Amino acid sequence: MAFAPADLDFLHRFIPATSKGLPTLLLLHGTGGNEDDLLDIGSRLMPGAARLSPRGKVLENGMARFFRRLAEGVFDIEDLRRRTAELAVFVEAAAGAYGQDPSRVVAVGYSNGANIAASLLLLRPGVLSAAILLHAMVPLVPEPLPDLQGRPVYLSAGRLDTMIPPRETERLARLLESAGARVTLAWQQGGHGLTPGEVESARAWFQAGETTRAGKA
């Protein structure tokens, strides 16, 4: 598939790898964030890996997001599908533009970014080899479910999160498992914000080697 320069139309940061043999980290910020938000977290999760960090194109009261919502926790599904396809094209085009292996892209998303990463898994499963979803919920339920057999997915959520109730995270875990993903669900005793301990737990899972061995199913 050929890509035009317009396919890289997301504002983004790309940090080249300093070590060989590591996947590219696709860093997806939460509502109100930008392309710089998760760069440090990416370097902590896997030092030396390439980092690709786009800025969401949708504005909600001046805050950047990756797709529209109708109310808190109520998504515009048509827009979500369109934005997911748009992001998939960008990720594949960026792999070619920056000389990265398109079969080894690991999403690291927080909140809204985690939700669109989950949507990528469900709607465009060939784009991601693995994912770390921090404070995510079910974005949509496609029919039929994709084949995510053996795909490693790490979910982290707060027991006291008032924006994403624990049952929503559990529902996402079940959905991904139903599609065949190898899901690890880690609970934090906190709310919606990221904590250093949460990032450290994700790093430990990352460093265990699941994602470095992951390829497209």
Catalytic residue (choose from 76, 103, 192, 201): 192
pLDDT of residue 210: 56
192 is an active site residue:
yes
Number of independent structural domains in the chain: 1
Annotated catalytic residue 135: no
Task: Give the pLDDT confidence score for residue 158 in this predicted structure.
Answer: 94
Annotation marks residue 111 as catalytic: yes
Tens-digit pLDDT profile for the chain (217 aa)?
444 455 788 999 999 999 999 999 999 999 999 999 999 999 999 999 999 999 999 999 999 999 999 888 789 999 999 999 999 999 999 999 999 999 999 999 999 999 999 999 999 999 999 999 999 999 999 999 999 999 999 999 999 999 999 999 999 999 999 999 999 999 999 999 999 999 999 999 988 865 544 443 3
- DSSP per-residue codes, the chain: ----GGGG-S-EEEE--SSTT-PEEEEE--TT--TTTTHHHHHHHSTT--EEEEPP-EEETTEEESS-EEETTEE-HHHHHHHHHHHHHHHHHHHHHHT--TT-EEEEEETHHHHHHHHHHHH-TTS-SEEEEES-------SSPP--TT-EEEEEEETT-SSS-HHHHHHHHHHHHHTT-EEEEEEESS-SS--HHHHHHHHHHHHTTHHHH----
Catalytic residue, chosen from 53, 111, 119, 129, is 111
What per-residue confidence (pLDDT) applies to 216?
A: 37
The structure's pTM equals 0.93
Q: What is the pLDDT of residue 212?
A: 47
Predicted pLDDT of residue 211: 55
Q: At how many degrees (to 10) do helices 112-123 and 77-98 cross?
A: 80
**Cα–Cα distance list, 130 to 1, 34, 95, 134, 153 (Å):** 22, 22, 16, 13, 6
53, 135, 156, 161: the catalytic one is: 161
User: What CATH code is carried by the domain that includes residue 12?
Assistant: 3.40.50.1820
Domain that holds residue 204: 5-213
Q: How high is the pLDDT of residue 74?
A: 87
Q: For residue 29, what are the CA distances in angstroms to 33, 37, 63, 114, 190? A: 5, 6, 11, 8, 19
**Sign, CA torsion 129/125/167/81:** positive
